Structures are given as structure tokens and as C-alpha cells.
Amino acid sequence: MLQNGKSRSHLTFDDGPDTRSGSANGTERILHALENNPTGHALNAVFFIQSHAKNDQNNYFRGMHSEGKRLVKKMTDAGHIVGVHTGMDGQNAHAEENDHPHRYDAEELMNDLNRAKDFILRFAKQAARYVRPPYGNMDDEGNVQRTYDEAALYRIMWDVDSKDARTNSTKETIKTALTERIEELMERGDTKLVILFHDTHPVTNKAGNLGEFITTITDAIEDKGHTPTWDLSTERIRTILDEYGENAR
């Protein structure tokens, strides 16, 4: 095990933005928690969004909702990075039958990616550079990766899954998942951590919980003899993600 090394942690959030109004909005609570957290510094994160997802009533309920447009702009204003998760315009955009390999087979994946990129450029005022496939699903033939390359998007997976999206997850199960995985990686000397959360998940976005999870991450790193560090600069995070994406090709 490496001793006294630095470990860099990067928080990422999938599936949003939440578009409920007022204090019920989970993405809004996550943004507040990132600005006010136990490190004493505002933390920048990466949000992989669903730009055109529709609910069962066939209404936009993620990015294209008026709240979604407001929140992605707020992400940019706070120094966060906005990436592509889904760009399918329709219901069940995040269902496994509509994952990126299936959308490639339907000859729709490039359209989806461009639709999401256009949304991010228009409303978040960023040029999207990163994509995360739903469920991490890829195809054995490499067609999805080639499509990402053609769309000039780096694929960003994760090193640490908080497992917050699992059925019946609780604050304690999330803390356990974080601790066990981080300790495993630290033992191997893997000190660059991309950590997966979901800003729409009620346990993750409950007031106070993200701060506790950040403390859990810090403690797990320190317990293995490393110094936890967080890249506070958006450009520094982009540099790390670009390297991560190059290695994923």
C-alpha cells in the first residue's frame, strides 16, 4: 500500500436534473451541499444529465423542463461540468431497452448524443465533452465507443459506486459501499477516484446526507494512509477527465 500519497476524488451525479419545485428539488439540494460541505471549500462536480427524457404523461421532466433548463445553467454558474447521460426524446429514456447499445442498433445513438450536446450548449452554456452510458452498458463490437469518438465525447465511467440507486439503499448502506470500495482501491494504490452518485435519489439528496458521504470518503482515504484532495478548479477536473476518457478508448 502506498503511504502518505495524495488521493484525488471527483464527485459525479447521474440521471438529473430533478425538476420538482421548491425544497423538494433534489438537484437543488445537491448543489447547495456541494457549496456548503465539510471540506470547507465549494466542490465542483460533474452532472451527467438526461436532456430530453419524458415521463409517463409524455411530458419533459428532466433537462427540457423549465426547472431543468434553470438548473443546468446554475450548474455552470457554480463551476460544475455538465455531461451527457441520455439524449433520447421520449419516455423510458433510461430504461435498459433504450441503453446506448440498443440506441445504436436502432440507428439513433448519434442523434441522441447530438441532441443532448445541443441542449447543454444552449442552456448550460458549455460545450459538452463527456458522456456516461446508462448502467455503464457498452457493446462488445465497439460500435458505441466509436460513436462517442465521432461525437467528440470522452466516456467517463466510475471507480467507486455509492450504490445509492439500488433498491432499499439507505444512508448506512451507501456509507458501507463507499468505504469498502475506497479501501480496496487504496490497498491497490489506485488513488484517482471518480465516484458515482445520483442527484435524483432521495437518500443521496436528503439534506445533510451528501456532507456525511463526503466525510465518509475522506475518512476511508485517510484510514489507508493517504491525504484526500479535491480538485477545486473546473479546468483541473477537465484535465483529469480528459485523461480518464483517453484511457477508456
**pLDDT by residue (tens digit) across 88-140?**
999 999 999 999 999 999 999 999 999 999 999 999 999 999 999 999 999 99
* CA–CA–CA angle 73, 78, 80 (5° rounding): 80
pLDDT number for residue 186: 94
Mean pLDDT score, 229-247? 87
Percent share of the chain, pLDDT over 90:
89
Segment 193-202, tens digit of pLDDT: 999 999 999 9
Residue 2: band (very low, low, confident or very high) from pLDDT cuts 50, 70, 90 = very low
Which residue type, as a one-letter code, is found at position 188?
A: R
Q: How confident is the model at residue 1 (pLDDT cuts 50, 70, 90)?
A: very low
Domains contained in the chain, CATH given: 6-248 (3.20.20.370)
Closest CA to 199 of 72, 12, 28, 13: 13
- Reported as a single tens digit per residue, the pLDDT across 49-74 is 999 999 999 999 999 999 999 999 99
Per residue in 136-190, pLDDT (tens digit) is: 999 999 999 999 999 999 999 999 999 999 989 999 999 999 999 999 999 999 9
Q: Determine the Cα–Cα distance for residues 84 and 14; give it in Å rounded to an integer.
A: 9
If pLDDT is split at 50, 70 and 90, which confidence band does 4 have?
low
Contact at 8 Å (CB) between 175 and 217? no
Query: Which helix (DSSP H) or strand (DSSP E) does residue 27 occupy?
Result: helix 26-35
pLDDT at site 231: 77
Ordered alpha helix ranges (H), 84-169: 100-105, 109-119, 143-150
Range 240-246 contact pairs with CB under 8 angstroms and sequence separation of 24 or more: 240/8, 240/10, 240/192, 241/10, 241/46, 241/81, 241/129, 241/130, 241/154, 241/156, 242/129, 242/154, 244/154, 244/156, 244/192, 244/194, 245/129, 245/130, 245/154, 245/155, 245/156, 246/154
Contact by Cβ (8 Å): 204, 174: yes
Quickly count: other Cβ atoms within 10 Å of residue 96's Cβ.
11
Q: How far apart are CA 116 and CA 118, in angstroms?
A: 5
pTM: 0.96
The full length of the chain comes to 249
Predicted pLDDT at 165: 96
Q: Identify the H or E element spanning 217.
A: helix 209-223
- Average pLDDT over all residues of the chain: 95
* Spatial distance between the Cα atoms of 54 and 86, rounded to a whole number of angstroms: 11
Percent of the chain, pLDDT > 70? 98
